[in-house]
A and B are shown apart, each in its own frame.
Chain A
Amino acid sequence: MSRRAAAEHRLAWLLCAPAVIAMLVVTAWPMLYAVWLSLFRYDLRFPDQRQFVGLDNYLSVLGSETWWQALFNTLLITVGSVSVELVLGFVFALVMHRALIGRRLVRASLLVPYGIITVVAAMSWRFAFDPTTGFVNALLGLDGAWLAERWSAFFVIIQTEIWKTTPFMALLLLAGLTLVPEDLLRAARVDGANALQRFFRITLPLMRPVIMVALLFRTLDAFRIFDTVFVQTRGAQGTDSVSIVGYNTLIARLNLGLGSAVSVLIFVCVLAIAALYIRGFGIDLSRREDA
C-alpha cells in the first residue's frame, strides 16, 4: 500500500470515528447489555434480589398470553396499515404525478401529516372518535365508544397510522414514478394497452425496487408502533403492541430482567422481518451503496 493510500485510510477513519463510536456506544452496547440483563432476575424495586436465571425470563415471556397477544396485535396493525398505505400511497402518488393544476398544493398538504408530531395526530383522532367530544359519531349517525372496544379501537389506531405515514409512502412512490420513462408508456398506449394494463405491465414492474424499499422501511417502522397506541388506548381493551408491553415491563413496572427479554425478542422479530424482505423478496440493499 502506498503512503498516500495509507494517509487516505487514516483520514477516512478519523472522519468516520465519531459517528461510528456514537452508534456503537448508544445502540450496539445497550443491545448487548439488554441481552445480558435478560439473563437475570432483576427488578429495580427489589435490586438486592438480582440473580442469574439463564433463559427463565424468555421462557416466562414466551409462555405468557400477553406476549403472543401483543405480537398478534402488532402484526395486525403492521399488515393492516402498510397494505392500505401501499395502495393509498400509489393513488396519491399518481394524483401528484398526473394532476396538472394543484400539484404543489397536493404535495404541500401531504407533508402536513408527515410533519405533525405522532402524539398530536393520535390525540386529534382520539378526540375525533371520542363519543363526547368527537364529530365522527355525529357524522356517521352512530354512537359507538370506538376506543372502548377492541376491534373498533384497532380501526382507529390503524386509521391514524395510515393517515400519518401514507405521505411518506406516496412521496417515495412519486419519486419512483418519475423513473418510469414516459416514452415507454406512450408507446404502450399506441399499441393499444389500456390504463390498467400500462400500470400493471410497465409501471409496477419498473418500480419494484422502490416499492420493496418503501415497504421494508414502513413495515419495520409500523412494527415499532408505540406512540399512537399509548395515546389512544394505553394498550387497554387488548390492544397492546409489543413496544407497549416492553415499555410497561421496563419503565412502568421497573422489571429490567423480564423487560430486557421482551426487548431482545422484539429485536429478533425485527431481524426476522428484515431477513424475510431481503432474502424472500430479494431486495438488494448493497447495490444502492455504490450509486
Chain B
Amino acid sequence: MTTFLSQVERLQAPEIDYGAVAPLLIVLGAACLSVLVEAFLPKASRWAAQVVLTFATLVAAGLVLLQYAVAEGTPKQGTITFAGTVAVDQPVIFLWATLLMLGLGSVLLIADRSVEPGGAIVADASILPGAVNGLREQLRRREMQTEVFPLTLFALGGMMVFVAANDLLTMFIALEVMSLPLYLMAGLARRRRLLSQEAAVKYFLLGAFASAFFLYGVALLYGFAGSVKLADIASATTATDRSDTLLYAGFGLLIVGLLFKASVGPFHSWTPDVYQGSPTPVTAFMAACVKVAAFGGILRVLYGAFERSSWEWNGVLWAVAIASMVIGAVLGLTQTDVKRMIAYSSVAHAGFLLIGAISLNDAGLSGTMFYLLAYGFTTIAAFGVVSLVRNADGEATHLSQWAGLAKRSPVAAGVFTFLLLALAGLPLTSGFVGKFAVFAAAIEAGLTPLVVVALVASAVAAFFYLRVIVLMYFSEPAADGPTVSVPGAFTAIAITLGAAITLVLGVYPPDVLEWAGAGVFIF
C-alpha cells in the first residue's frame, strides 16, 4: 500500500500554462456545453441558444487569445506546456486567431436561416433520402439539426490542437477530433440528400485511410527516433546510426495523411465530391478552416521534425506540389459546377501553399500563413455568394445557370467577380499579396523552377475564373435562370467581411504581414 501511494505521489500532473491554452479550453469546453444544450433544451429554443453560445465562444476565445498575445508577461518566443505536447508560439497564435476568425465567418453561414427557409442544414437527418415525401418533409420543417454547432466547435477545437501539437501522437488525436465531426457535417445538406450522404461516406472512408497512413507513419517514426516528439525526431535525423528506411517510410506515410487533409493533389480525389455534396456553409468551413489547420500541421511537422533532412524528401514534395498545381488548374478547366470548380481551385491553391511550406525559411513560414488567412476569407465569401444563387430546386450551382447574372443582381456578380480575381491572384487583392509572399520566399530558397510552374498554373487557372466572369457579365440570362436571394443578416455579414478583408489585405497588407512574421515555431 505504501509503495503504491509513493508511486502515486511520483505521478505528478504536468504543469499547465492555463493562460496560453485558455482559448483552446474555451472552445472545447463550450463544445461540451453545446452537447448538453442539445440534450436538455426543447427543440424550439435550441437554434437560438446554440447560435448565441457558439458566437459567444468564438468571440470570447478570440478576446482571450488577443489578451494573451499582447499581455506583458507573455514569453515572446512562445511557451511549451502540457508536458511538452502543446506549443503556443507566435505562429500558433496567428493560426489560432485565423481559425477563430474563419470559424466565425463559417458559423455565420451555417446559422443563416433566411436564404434557405430553415437553413442549409438538414431538418431531420433521420428521414431517409429515398423515403416517400422525404424531401418535402425536409423542406416543410423550418428547423435545422442543431447538432451542427457542437460539431463545428469540436472540429474547430481539434484544428487548434492540431496546429499546436508538439508531438505526433497529440497531432493524431487532434486530427481525429477535427475530422470526425467534419464527416458528419458533410452529410447534413437539407436538399440533395443522397449527394450529401455520398459525400459524407466518401470523405469518411478516404479520411479513415488517410488517418491510418498517418498513424502508421507515426509508428515507423517512433521506431526510427524512439520518440514521437517533433524535437526528438529532428535530432534523430542528424544522427548517423539510425535506419534511413524507417525515416523515409515513416515520413512518406505521415505526409500522405497530412497532404490528404490539405487536399493537395494527387491526394485530392475526395475534394470535388465532398465540396459539391456538403451543405455550402459546411463546404466553406472545410475549404477555409481545414486548409488552415492542415497546412498549419504540415508547416509544424516540416519545420519541427524534418527541416534538417529536407534534402532527402524535398524532391518528392516538389513533384507533389507540381502535380497539385497542374491537376487543380487543368481539371478546373473542365468543371461545369461552380462548387466543383472552387474545389479544383483549392487543389491548385494547395500546391501554391505547399511551395511556401517547403521553402523552409522564415519568409516561407510567414508567407504561407498570410496566404492561408487571405485564402480563407476569400473562400468563405465566395461560398456565401454561391449559396445566394438559387432556383426552385435550391442552389443553382451549374455554371450555365449563372449566365447573365450581372443583369439580375449587379451587386452579387460584382462581389463574386472581385473574389474570383482575388483567387486568380490579381494585384490589389489579398490573393496577389499572398502569392507574392509565397513565391518570393520560394525564389529566395532556390525553388525558382517551382515558381515558374506555379505562375503558368496561375495563368491556366485564371481561365476558369474568367469564364465565370464572362458568363455573368457578357452572356444573356436564361429565361428560367436562377434568382439571387437577398441575404439575411448572417450571410450578408459573412460575405461583406470576407470581401472587405480580401480588399484590405490587398491594398494595405503590412500590418498583417508583420504579424505573420512576428516569430517562428518553437519545439
B is bound to A: no
Q: Give the interface of B toward A (CB within 8 A).
A: none
Interface residues of A (CB under 8 A from B): none
